[in-house]
Chains A and B, each alone.
Chain A
Amino acid sequence: MGGGPCSAEGSDLLLLDLGDRYIAEAVSEKGAALLEDRAFEKSDEKSLSHAEKIRKQAEASMQPLAKKETWSRNWSGFSAIRFGKTWQRRVQLRDLHVPLPDLSLLRSLRRSIGPGRRKDQGLGFLPVPSVHPAGFGFNPRPTVKERFRQRIMHKLSYLPRSQAMTGCVGCGRCVTECPVNLDIREVMVISFRGKCTVMENPYVPVPMRIEEIIVETEDENIKTFETVFYGQG
């Protein structure tokens, strides 16, 4: 997002932890006024050099995956062919992919049909069978692939282009709280590289050989399959 562990953007006062004490840097006039308080002492050369060393170490430990200003350009090259591989990383849990009505598309659809006809036809004029009558919409992104693409492009390509800002604030909660354990940063790395292989992508199916089949119930409706990675055993 362009920030960093020692980024002072938007701050009045920047505190840097030196271990046994803090070093404070005034960024604005308000911050400078705060520094005149008796709680602060003037820093010496040794502390300043130590702070600079810590600052460099912290910034070196957090290298960005992609530069903010290049996101829009890079994502515009996120081709459909490449999506064909990356979207498979998504778990196909149906509940997580409830199609939502896209009202802008619905409006354009109405205009193309004409106001007089839609009254008689009701929902029947919608051309897509997977209609959600309760939401009064139709699903313009019927498969996981289109929805996966939209969620990434919306935040990282469409918004930067239309609003000159990304939809991502860099909080990282989408990674830590993702119910399907999808790390969008990995997707970005794979996409920017322009290649996606089995070795790089753990979510492409790997072959496993069935080693043993255990019948768990008398009616044989539940079985336990013992498998090993193909090439072992």
Chain B
Amino acid sequence: MARADEERFAYTPGQFAELSVFGKGEAPFGMASTPTRPGRLSFSVSKIGVVTGALHRMEKGDVVGVRGPFGNGYPLQTFKGKNLVLVGGGFRVFHAPVPDEFHSPRFKQKRVQRPHGDLRSKKAGMLLYKKDLEAWKSKGISGCI
């Protein structure tokens, strides 16, 4: 069952899923994980409402429902051989999957060159994935914070 679900949940960077909490409801969230690690999904959630509040009260081992993937994702095939500049709003833009995808062996074969990201946040405390940012720097992804 779990294996069948995993195989069916094949997604690309940029897609999203509906995350549901039993008895509270469901809401859309972008996947913060990389498709190159099948079987694991990450969601970064800001506490702003009923569903997100219930999610924040959950603990390790609790069960949530996931539907998806939805959306069309990024057209990765068209990135081949080009320098990429990522510009966007919201903290989801700089989720780990995009740089991870760029550095996967499969993607390196497509010779995507030097992705650039402009990394900013409204407040210093709002900057997410600090460990990832350091890792991206070591991999040669340029960005300013």
Contacts and interface: CB of A to CB of B under 8 A. Distances in A.
Nearest to B121: A217
Interface string B18-48: 1010000010100011000001111111110
Give the interface SS of chain B, mostly helix, strand, loop or mixed.
Answer: mixed
Interface in A173-216: 179-181, 199, 202-213, 216
A209 to B, nearest CB: 5
What range describes how many residues of A lie at the interface? 35 or more
Contact of B39 (A88, A216, A219, A229): A229
Nearest to B126: A217
B128 A203 contact: no
Interface string B103-145: 0000000000000000000000110110000000000000000
Contact of B56 (A93, A199, A209, A223): A223
Interface string A217-233: 11111111111111110
Contacts of A223: 44-45, 47, 55-56
A231 B64 CA distance: 13
Give the interface SS of chain A, mostly helix, strand, loop or mixed.
Answer: loop
What range describes how many residues of B lie at the interface? 35 or more
A205 B128 contact: no
Nearest to A217: B125
Nearest to A224: B44
A205 B20 contact: yes
Given A181-B69, A210-B58, A230 B63 contact: yes
Given A91-B28, A227-B41, A232-B2, A209 B61 contact: yes
Given A227-B42, A227-B43, A230-B2, A207 B63 contact: yes
Nearest to B48: A221
A92 interface: yes
A224 B45 CA distance: 6
Nearest to B25: A92
B70 A91 contact: yes
Nearest to A232: B2
B70 A180 contact: yes
A233 to B, nearest CB: 8
Nearest to B4: A199
Contacts of A229: 2-3, 5-6, 9, 39
Interface in A92-147: 92-93
Contacts of A226: 33, 40-42
Interface of B: 1-6, 8-9, 15, 18, 20, 26, 28, 32-33, 39-47, 55-56, 58-72, 91, 125-126, 128-129
14 contacts: A179-B71, A181-B70, A202-B8, A203-B67, A203-B68, A205-B67, A209-B62, A211-B60, A216-B129, A217-B128, A219-B125, A224-B32, A227-B66, A228-B39
Nearest 3 A-B pairs (CB), nearest first? A205-B65, A231-B2, A229-B2
